[in-house]
Amino acid sequence: MYFFYDGTYVGFLTTVYEIYHHGTSHLEGILMEGGEVPLFGAQSIVITRLPDAEKVAAAFEKKCGKEAMRWMYRAFLSNEEGKEMKIFYFMKEGFKREKKIYTCRKEPWVQDILAMCREVGNEAEKFRGILRFSELDDGMLYAVMKPDHHILPLLAVHFQQRFSQKRWAIYDKGRREAAIYENGHLFMGMVEQEDQQVRYSGSEEDFRRLWKNYYRHMGIEERRNPRERRNFLPKKYWGLLTEMEDPYNRSDLPLKGEEKR
């Protein structure tokens, strides 16, 4: 049987609950709704239910511990195709082996999870350093990103602690999802229509101009190393950086002149 879920973490855990209800021997695949539909095999549309998801999460954590729970959650945030079946097999083995699962790190089914967990964690760590917040005309701090993996939940928790006294929003442009923190509360949801005209505050415009000029002049022309710069920060991230709005800063060739004001 193929199980179709809504793509959310809660939906996936509800799917695990359903699979055990029907019997794991009937499982043929776990797929997101809206994707390719198999030509053969029975199908089941899973309705997301928080109570059932919480039961599965509590049971897995009780059996395997917080660390295995963390591996599983971060693996789910990966954009790897077919992750659902790998995570399900990991959970299935976890329910059987319990804490002994930590002695199985060299097994392929654990290595798959750890590899996804590592990729998600590495990208989240990179964005903690390069994410650029800008002040909007209403005083809110706003940042845009387009990561490979679904790291917005991890970043939201990080900045909730770091900027607990601020109003801020992070927008995942690729997934059209936003995290908003205001009045001590964190909200996450989908964005139906993106505002194409971001209105910065007057001081923000000044700081952006100053930062671009500072970045331009802080480097030593004779020591420009385009390859090293691309290795440290791949070009796919450049479009999200304030300093890279300046053609001089984006260029791999020496250019002259000040930014026009």
Q: Is residue 88 part of a domain?
A: yes
d(CA 40, CA 60): 31
Q: How confident is the model at residue 249 (pLDDT cuts 50, 70, 90)?
A: confident
Same domain, 49 and 109: yes
Across the range 246-253, mean pLDDT stands at 75
Q: Is residue 197 part of a domain?
A: no
Q: Which structure tokens are listed for 155?
A: 């970043």
Same domain, 39 and 96: yes
Final residue of a domain: which of 152, 168, 190?
190
Same domain, 84 and 137: no
Residue 125 vs residue 230, higher pLDDT: 125
DSSP states of 197-212: ---B-HHHHHHHHHHH
Same domain, 55 and 108: yes
Final residue of a domain: which of 165, 190, 215?
190
Residue 218 vs residue 170, higher pLDDT: 170
The count of domains in the chain is: 3
Same domain, 24 and 45: yes
User: How crowded is residue 34: how many other Cβ atoms within 10 Å of its Cβ?
Assistant: 9
Same domain, 147 and 236: no
Same domain, 93 and 168: no
Q: Is residue 261 part of a domain?
A: no
Would the pLDDT of 192 be above 70? yes
Q: Is residue 196 part of a domain?
A: no
Same domain, 245 and 147: no
**Containing structural domain, residue 143:** 131-190
User: How crowded is residue 107: how many other Cβ atoms within 10 Å of its Cβ?
Assistant: 13
d(CA 52, CA 15): 9
Same domain, 116 and 140: no
Same domain, 78 and 166: no
Q: Is residue 59 part of a domain?
A: yes
User: How crowded is residue 83: how many other Cβ atoms within 10 Å of its Cβ?
Assistant: 18
Quote the pLDDT of residue 235.
85
Q: Is residue 260 part of a domain?
A: no
pLDDT one-digit tens code per residue, 97-142: 999 999 999 999 999 999 999 999 999 999 998 999 999 999 999 9
**Sheet of 2-5, strand order:** 29-32, 2-5, 43-45
Residue 235 vs residue 257, higher pLDDT: 235
Same domain, 36 and 141: no
Quote the pLDDT of residue 253.
54
Q: Is residue 18 part of a domain?
A: yes
Same domain, 158 and 71: no
Helix axes 9-22, 50-64, angle to 10 degrees: 80
pLDDT one-digit tens code per residue, 4-38: 999 999 999 999 999 998 888 888 899 998 767 76
Q: Is residue 239 part of a domain?
A: yes
Q: What is the 3-state secondary structure (H, E, C) of 177-195?
A: EEEEEECCEEEEEECCCCC
Quote the pLDDT of residue 31.
92
Final residue of a domain: which of 122, 140, 173?
122
